[in-house]
Structure 1
Amino acid sequence: MTSQGNVVSAQHKFAAKDELDLITAVKAGDKLAYHQLYKQYIGQVYGLCYRLTADKMLAEDAAQEVFIQLWRKIGNYQGESRFSTWLHTVTSNITISYLRKQRGWFSRVLNFESAIENSQVDQGCSSSVDIERYILRLPQRARIVFVLHAIEGYRHEEIAQMTKMAVGSSKAQFHRAKHLLEGWMSEE
């Protein structure tokens, strides 16, 4: 059998196994299992990173960092919650941490409104795309809190812990985001 045949058969051996077996294999250092886990979750991880960063390049970098850290720290997953829940929390924490490191970068980049105006989004786009565009326009802290609370379902206490802000600040940022979104949506 060729080496390519071994890779294909190794990839298929996890197709029938459940997620716990896959995670156990990754914990044991199985790179094929890790690749399968990556393929299974990259879309969800990137989506959350993009909603938090509002920038494709930053989201790609943050998602890459999530999977680097996942390989290093998968041993921390104890199975007390669903893996997707644990990975979601890890992704949020890493992306927020990544954003903190990028603050200087944000000050040198065009503001989000200019980026949205220059995008090639069709004027007849659906309301969900409009809402996504509005979310991208939100100031960074308000956007992070809004995404984590309204879209991802985190409580303000959890958001406060992840972002290292007071619970009251989280609630205020959420209120600010809602107010801005309502204003922008009523203008159209």
Structure 2
Amino acid sequence: MKDLKVIHSYLETQAAACFKVLYDRYVGRIYAKCISMLKDDALAQDATQEIFTKVFLNLSRFKEQSRFSTWVYSITYNYCIDYLRRKKKQKDLFSDDMEQAPDLAEEEVSDKIIFEIELDQLEQVLQEIPDSDRMVLLMKYQDRMSIKEIADIIGKTESAVKMKIKRAKAKAQETRQALFPQPIM
């Protein structure tokens, strides 16, 4: 059964079996996103359950303006980003150091930059860049989402998403150069 049919059936009958179909279909994907964002198994498991609670409580609000998977991904992304923001805010309360945003050049940053980073370096670079930058790069390159899908998920315009991706790539490049300086020949 397709997602929309399962959703309509659940909304009409409130049959737990229908929601279980959706749960079984998406639990792995949601957990994978949570673990990639939160970097902690216990947090990811808790987040997955919280996200399914949100999906369950808000299923009647799904307006079919996007695919169900995009709607669920949006809830997942927003939940994890909100968690990371709260965590950062708490950390900042105890820290006097405030980071300044880097002044990025207006030149286009090529996708080649991301693809040239070796896997072990890429993992370290992704750990060092801000969470929102990491997430937008993962959505674009790992999940192969379109600019429109990313815009729908993070609630920004397509041009804002393009700029965010551009800045995230620049930040990744800058971080790689700082972590792995190239020897001068």
The 5-angstrom pairing of residues 11-160 of structure 1 reads 17-28=1-12, 29-103=14-88, 131-132=122-123, 134-152=125-143, 153=145, 155=147, 158=151
Question: Percent of counterpart pairs with the same letter?
Answer: 23
Q: How many residue pairs were aligned?
A: 152
Higher RCO (CA 8 Å, separation ≥ 6 residues): 2
CA distance in structure 2 between the partners assigned to 1:40 and 1:169 by the alignment: 31
Which of 170, 175, 178 lines up with 1:180 in the alignment? 175
State the secondary structure of the residue aligned to 1:36: helix
* Alpha-carbon offset, residue 24 of structure 1: 1.5
What RMSD over aligned residues (CA atoms) do the two structures have, in Å? Answer: 3.6
Cα contact 1:135–1:181 (8 A) shared by 2: no
Kept in 2: contact 1:138–1:180 (CA 8 A): yes
Deviations 1:8-29 (A, max 9, x none): xxxxxxxxx3322211233242
What is the CA-CA distance between 1:137 and the residue it aligns to?
4.2
Alignment-mate amino acid for residue 170 of structure 2: H
Extract unaligned runs of 5+ from structure 1. 1-16, 109-126
Deviation at 1:37, TM superposition (A): 0.9
In the alignment, structure 2 segments of 5+ residues that lack a partner are 95-117
The 1-side partners of 2:119 and 2:154 are apart by 29
For normalisation by structure 2, the TM-score amounts to: 0.62
2:107 paired residue number: none
